Amino acid sequence: MKIILPIAAALLLTTAAGAQTPGKEGVAAARTTNGVANWTTYNADLKGSRYSPLDQINPGNFKDLEIAWRFKTDILGSRPEYKLESTPLAVDGVIYTTGGTRRAVVALNGATGELLWQYAMHEGKRSAESPRALSGRGLSYWTDGTKRRILYVTIGYRLVSLDADTGRPDPEFGTNGVVDLKTDYDQDLGDLDTGEVGVHSAPAVSGNTIIIGAAFREGFTPKTHNNTKGYVRAFDVRTGKRMWTFHTVPKKGEFGYETWLNNSADVNGNTGVWTQVSVDEDLGLAYLAVESPTSDFFGGKRPGPNLFGNSLVAVDLKTGERRWHFQLIHHEIWDLDNSSAPLLMDVTVDGKPRKVVGLPSKQGFFYVFDRATGQPVWPIKETKVAKGNVPGEWYSPTQPIPSKPPVYARNGVEEKDLIDFTPDMKKKALELTSKYVLGPVYTPPIVSTPEKFGVINNWAQGGTNWPGGSFDPESGIAYVYACGACISSTGLLPPPAGLSDIPLVVGVAGQPVVMIKGPGEGAGADSPAPAAAPGSGNAGPPRLAVDGLPLVKPPYGTISAIDVNNGTIKWQVAHGETPDFVRNHPVIKAMGGIPRTGQSTYQIGTLVTKGLVVAGENQFTRTEDRPRGAMLRAYDKQTGKEVGAVFMPSTQSGSPMTYMVNGKQYIIVPTSGGNASGEFLAYALPSKR
């Protein structure tokens, strides 16, 4: 392991003003309490709101925003990064963020973007073998009024505490500022370099407690069902000492163990918390959105409901003891893992104040519970679902379906969802899908055959993914992006010898089964079926498209305003310009055009301010009034009307945030993708001259 020291200790930067040493002096010069509004956690606060009361940028002037400064992350690693998903922090005029292929931490001047210090760690093989590489989602800030610390997890799964002023590791934390998260883990990972576990989310820090989850490889084909278990742990923010561990796969004798039939909890893994953890400091509870067990589409090695897989679990902040849980999916076999940070909301239901927790989902359900007791605010009925016939599988006869709010995103793929711009297109869509199974959200997977390749679905990629939602505490409304055209086809086949010990993995009849990277949290929309392997003698299933257009009808991406006071959808808009290949299609032009379709992606997070909902586009388009690029769009948060849009030279790939320094409000958007490497764009209103 090699540590890159903060640049303050290694070099001098020469500027027009002469030699200047970044680091403590640079941070001290940038820090201010004059006209400042901070953003001190990944989601603005521990409640996950992504809300700021700032209103200098408002519906009347959003269109006037200009790029005030920009910070390119290419130097933060051995090569440029094209998947920048980090949301920065803003503390007293200083921006802190991760970036680059090394997952470096940098401090920037919030008014100018000037680099103040940098820290990174060379982890060699351990980094190369990590299931969660690149810059990750962000970091955390802690202070006791005297000490100021930046905390984050490296690619190799080490927790680091840095002095916020200098970027130097805290010598009182762990071993020289570092805690090895692959040790003291209540399980043996074997070789620490190759033991599969990592995380890309930011730690949750409340008081003196740091909470860390776990993540694994994105993919349909794990090597073994007995993978690492995704336990959640807490550490002391001053010393790095472990405080508690919550076993997301229960150990023998613990609550929930009996839900893994045949003692299968002993020989199955994953079930981690890879999204953000939210905290109610008044109730002393941390809320864990737990993912699926191994494996994504076959659970025959783990019969039973499998607690705490696909559950929302509230644990005691000080002890890690379970206070309540609700399992959203019993025995998950659809890769519909919990992907979003829980939203802690104070609302008024039936005339009474309620403290609730809401969870957006890939299914397009928005689950709402009393956050002290875990009781559903509106009935969640156990509903009978179809039983499959995959050999060796165990099926739950029912799944919990919320009565309110209504579904806010595509919820399965059925005939009514297919493209119907013209009768001929609908006919072609029906012909194409005749080789597949269609159905609602919990349609069970099938074994792939030449007659039925698989199930067309929006399981892994649809609905709301890792950016989650946002919440306006003034109105009690949650704002959630969802992908409506992120579909794929899924079939199962036995793996070849040596690939996996799981009896059935994702595959297509007539084609070799290979290690497939699954969409999970990071795949585009309208994913084509896998192409036939060279020499396979099989043309393979067709692409899920009709005449070059998406198989399903618009909208391809939406933002929904969900009124949590009464469980209704206040408004919904198609977010994003209609893609060029759709808008310019001959059939669409002959129709005289169609309403804006929105864009399909999994990467869009929303920001809420005093008057706006802000989100960028994840696809390039070209229109008559601007060059090819993407737009950062703002909507009136009460009506959903678009009130302004500004040009971005690249596409949004993380979630935006906002802050104020010296009385000036900024909005930072992480951008990357395609040919554009990672860059932070800071927008502000033009300065008066």
- Are the beta carbons of 515 and 507 closer than 8 angstroms? no
User: Residue 536 — very low, low, confident or very high, per pLDDT cuts 50/70/90?
Assistant: very low
The pLDDT value given to residue 689: 54
The pLDDT value given to residue 218: 83
The pLDDT value given to residue 607: 98
**Which tokens in the block code for residue 243?**
């405080």
- Express as a percent the part of the chain with pLDDT over 90: 88
Q: Cα angle vertex 357, ends 325, 200, to 5°?
A: 80
**Which tokens in the block code for residue 192?**
């620490």
| CA 166 – CA 455 distance, rounded (Å) | 53
pLDDT, one tens digit per residue, over 213-250 is 999 998 767 899 999 999 999 999 999 999 999 999 99
Buried b (16+ CB within 10 A) or exposed e, 296-311: bbbbbbbbbbbbbbbb
| CA 7 – CA 26 distance, rounded (Å) | 11
Amino acid of residue 621: T
| CA 679 – CA 71 distance, rounded (Å) | 6
Tell the burial category of 535 from Cβ atoms under 10 Å away from its Cβ (0-12, 13-18, 19+): exposed
User: Would the pLDDT of 524 be above 50?
Assistant: no
User: Would the pLDDT of 15 be above 50?
Assistant: no
**Which tokens in the block code for residue 49?**
């709101």
| CA 659 – CA 333 distance, rounded (Å) | 41
User: Residue 286 — very low, low, confident or very high, per pLDDT cuts 50/70/90?
Assistant: very high
User: Would the pLDDT of 119 be above 70?
Assistant: yes
251 Cβ neighbours under 8 A, 6+ residues apart: 186, 257, 265
User: Residue 2 — very low, low, confident or very high, per pLDDT cuts 50/70/90?
Assistant: low
pLDDT, one tens digit per residue, over 380-433 is 999 999 999 999 999 999 999 999 999 999 999 999 999 999 999 999 999 999
- Express as a percent the part of the chain with pLDDT over 70: 93
**Which tokens in the block code for residue 297?**
């589409």
Mean pLDDT over the full length of the chain: 93
Q: ω into residue 311 within 30 of 0, thus cis?
A: no
| CA 496 – CA 499 distance, rounded (Å) | 6
| CA 609 – CA 252 distance, rounded (Å) | 47
* Average pLDDT rounded to a whole number, residues 123-152: 97
User: Would the pLDDT of 80 be above 50?
Assistant: yes
